[in-house]
Structure 1
Amino acid sequence: MSWLMIWYFMQNIPVTSGFNQPVLFIAYDGLLDPLGGSQILPYLYSIADLPQHLHIISFEKAERFKSSSSALRDELDRKNIGWTPLTFTSRMGKLGKIWDLFRMYVTALKLQRRHRFTIVHCRSYPAMQVGCFLRRFMGVKTIFDMRGLWVDDRVEGNLWPQDRWLYRRLYHYYKRLERRLLECADAVIVLTERVVPEIRRLAPEMHAPIAVIPCCADFDHFSGISTTDKLATRTDIGIDKHALVISYLGSLGTVYLLDDMLRLFETVARQRDYAHLLLITQDWSPQHEERLGESSLADLRHRIHIRPARRDEVPNLLGASDIMLSFRRATYSQMACSPTKLAEAFALGIPAISNAGVGDIDAMTRALDAGAVVDLNNPDAFETILRDLDSILAKGGERLRECARGTLGLERAKLAYRRVYEQLEGQS
């Protein structure tokens, strides 16, 4: 990195004015992205309730920033949270990512000069690279909020195909960097109990305490919907009020097992002619439609409903269903995964059917009596689910909501973050 270039940008990057902020939060995600609304902002608001004030660096998509940034800035101002948004570089491939990382370094340095942060809270690996730099040269304490095994996740999702020399080198470089980031951290936050021993194995010289904070839901936002609203939502979608509605919420990317979820729906729908499938996703494409039309589900297409949804629309749409599916590849990196959609479903009192081997889902489903876990390698698994479906449905309702709140409510996350910050303050 050129120090002359850093000096130049430190003089020219605009900075949000505000309070003397002791905590810097860095994310290479957008607060205005769907993920920002469901995962990042609720946590930030919880942290902002702590004694520390907060300043955020995030990377925003240009169109979303243009249309929605004013309202978000007003909201953050009311909570005394500073915000320095940077534009996410969507072009130039890997060079664009390097450019964004450079700007992350420069902006963090400038903000550090102005606010003298004592803690830098880093969401995922790129942000932690900057956090380690500030720790080494500025003496701040760092929180590595890992969110998952990012390096292996990229390989397993074929974003870094290992049959190509460049990506093999990139993988080995980032695995070494992963160890250094963990050893640099003053506190590490992970999403599952299952990944904790693996973190210790990856960085045996790491001394930081590890806090497990699963992806939680705002139980006030997902507060349940009345029977009247539920029926109105079904009518709007085109689903009969007496139907059995199976839902899926979220992305349809490479890690998600859409074909298996469709096969389970088909198993149910062939036996129960009142069963419908509701896919709440922004990712449905003409290619998905074509595959569906060519599959054995073609004659059931009228019972499959696709709806995109903003965050404020999700509770009503998801609340119109009776049971939710959450199938994703049970690979090495997924031991660190905690699907937010499960917390949101449980907050609405909706049980879930998940596949085995992902994060802490197996143990959590048993502990909360929150649905069923299916072994996708068992050829009779879907028939078993069909046989047990009524008992799975009976697990939903207010009992599930109340049981889940203590484990997956934002209140739990707020207390856990408070303990992390108090530990760091105690080290000062």
Structure 2
Amino acid sequence: MKLSINGENKKVIYLSYTGMLEPLGASQVLNYLKGLASEYSFWLLSLEKLEDLENVDAVEALKRELKDKNISWYPLPYLAGGKNYLKNFQQLYSLTQKYIDEEQISYLHCRSYMPATIAWLLKKRGKKINYLFDTRGFWFDEKADVGEWKKSGLSYKLAKVIEKTLYNNAIAIVMLSQKSVDLINDGSLFKGSEKLKNVYFIPTCTDLERFSPAFNKVNKPIKIGYIGTAIGWYNFEKTAELLQLIKKEVHYELEIYNGGQHQFIKETLLKYGFEDNEYSLKKVGFNEIPEKMRQLDLSVFFIHPFFSKNASAATKFGELMASGVPILTNKNVGDHQYFVEHYGTGKILDINKLNTYNYTKIIMDLKSSIVVSNCRKLADDVFSLYKGVGSYSKLYKEFFE
């Protein structure tokens, strides 16, 4: 049944700092909007990397595809570098204001902090709008955790005042982990956050039709995989140490799928005793990842366990679970530990005590059809795109009325 005003779908502006031509935008924005577009008409405004916009055919093809699904997409050029932050902000702000006025749109879905700031400013300046704040994490605390800001400094303190304002003025708030909801509810995010009553948990979801298990794999030796970025929040140094320790006990093939840090990966692995001929390091396309992933027996990754990472959910976590691939990872990152231990889909390791584990036993215990089924059940229960769309639909019907 369509929700409508005067026979038309309700209108929503969706603001994204992430580009739709990037894999993350395709999986974590477009998949949701396509599921919601039968009931809502979307004006999708996003910042796109200049090199992506140069592929005019791809841009126009995506515009046509989305238009057919009731989504009008307006890509804006993302200008790299901190000095261009205000320019990116201004062009997104101006276009948002334009469509609020021209199309008389009252509802904004804001993916991350910059879009939410735009919505709050427009609201403060008299626009009759309500915005859903889809946070994607504790962004200001991320900046402090990586050392960009000092928690005792003015920038961080001002940012936390802005954060409190964005949360308090949002009609609803979406978090990626239940752990982050709990931290908000106990007042750990900012003073007074425990008073918020409109905070909801929706994880990064996975298209279970694209990602599926390969049962009865017979990989001899077993295949261990590392997928995605190796820098930033990811601690590849500790991952290399883990792989070295496993190598001492278990014969395995190492498959690494990474876009742009090959030299860093090679140098780090060499430091831990891996020659180039002992692993495969490739860049693979978005459409190739599901098949590559499902052929793995095990995947490994570590994320720096900062406070801000309690609000994170690695996209590849859900994809690996949907593919039936157990993981070795660390605690204090979103809900990873709870899901791994509750469903039996891997092993949580102490990154400071990696030399204390029996990896032969761990891998033997994880290499079973039962564990593959556990992974898929977790994906079905928690990370299903269908359920994610349903969760957003429920919020839209409750708040975008």
TM-score normalised by structure 2 residue count: 0.90
Q: Is the 8 A contact 1:25 1:121 kept in 2?
A: yes
SS of the residue 1:220 aligns to: coil
SS of the residue 1:84 aligns to: strand
The CA distance in 2 between the partners of 1:37 and 1:333, in whole Å, is 25
SS of the residue 2:29 aligns to: helix
The CA distance in 2 between the partners of 1:316 and 1:172, in whole Å, is 46
Determine what percentage of the aligned residue pairs are the same residue: 24
The one-letter code matched in structure 1 to 2:142 is D
CA drift at 1:121: 0.3
Q: Is the 8 A contact 2:140 2:160 kept in 1?
A: yes
Paired residues for 1:7-26 under 5 Å: 22-26=11-15
Instruction: Label 1:244 to 1:276 Cα distance change in 2 as closer, same or farther (>3 A).
Output: same
The CA distance in 2 between the partners of 1:135 and 1:35, in whole Å, is 28
Instruction: Specify the alignment match of 1:43 in structure 2.
Output: 32
SS of the residue 1:43 aligns to: helix
Paired residues for 1:6-85 under 5 Å: 22-49=11-38, 51-67=39-55, 68-85=58-75
The CA distance in 1 between the partners of 2:280 and 2:150, in whole Å, is 37
Per-residue Cα deviation, 1:311-341 (whole angstroms, up to 9, x for no partner): 1010111122111113101110010011110
CA drift at 1:178: 0.5
| 2:171 pairs with 1:183 | no
The one-letter code matched in structure 2 to 1:37 is A
Instruction: Specify the alignment match of 2:263 in structure 1.
Output: 286
Paired residues for 1:341-420 under 5 Å: 341-381=316-356, 383-394=357-368, 395-420=370-395
Q: Is the 8 A contact 2:240 2:272 kept in 1?
A: no
Instruction: Label 1:218 to 1:379 Cα distance change in 2 as closer, same or farther (>3 A).
Output: closer
CA drift at 1:220: 0.8
Instruction: Label 1:221 to 1:25 Cα distance change in 2 as closer, same or farther (>3 A).
Output: same
Instruction: Specify the alignment match of 2:202 in structure 1.
Output: 213
Q: Is the 8 A contact 2:242 2:354 kept in 1?
A: no
The CA distance in 2 between the partners of 1:61 and 1:296, in whole Å, is 35
| 2:286 pairs with 1:297 | no
SS of the residue 2:117 aligns to: helix
The CA distance in 2 between the partners of 1:297 and 1:34, in whole Å, is 33
CA drift at 1:22: 1.0
SS of the residue 1:134 aligns to: helix
The CA distance in 2 between the partners of 1:99 and 1:119, in whole Å, is 24
The CA distance in 2 between the partners of 1:272 and 1:207, in whole Å, is 50
| 2:84 pairs with 1:96 | yes
The one-letter code matched in structure 1 to 2:342 is A
Per-residue Cα deviation, 1:377-398 (whole angstroms, up to 9, x for no partner): 33544x2343221112224334
Q: Is the 8 A contact 1:252 1:283 kept in 2?
A: no
Q: Is the 8 A contact 1:21 1:55 kept in 2?
A: no
SS of the residue 2:179 aligns to: coil
- Match among 144, 149, 171 for residue 156 of structure 2: 171
Instruction: Specify the alignment match of 2:4 in structure 1.
Output: none
SS of the residue 1:130 aligns to: helix
Unaligned 5+ runs, structure 2: 1-7
Q: Is the 8 A contact 1:330 1:358 kept in 2?
A: yes
- Match among 179, 194, 217 for residue 194 of structure 1: 179
TM-score normalised by structure 1 residue count: 0.84
Which structure shows the bigger proportion of residues in helix conformation?
1
Two-structure CA RMSD over aligned residues (Å) = 2.3
Q: Is the 8 A contact 2:228 2:257 kept in 1?
A: yes
The one-letter code matched in structure 2 to 1:329 is H
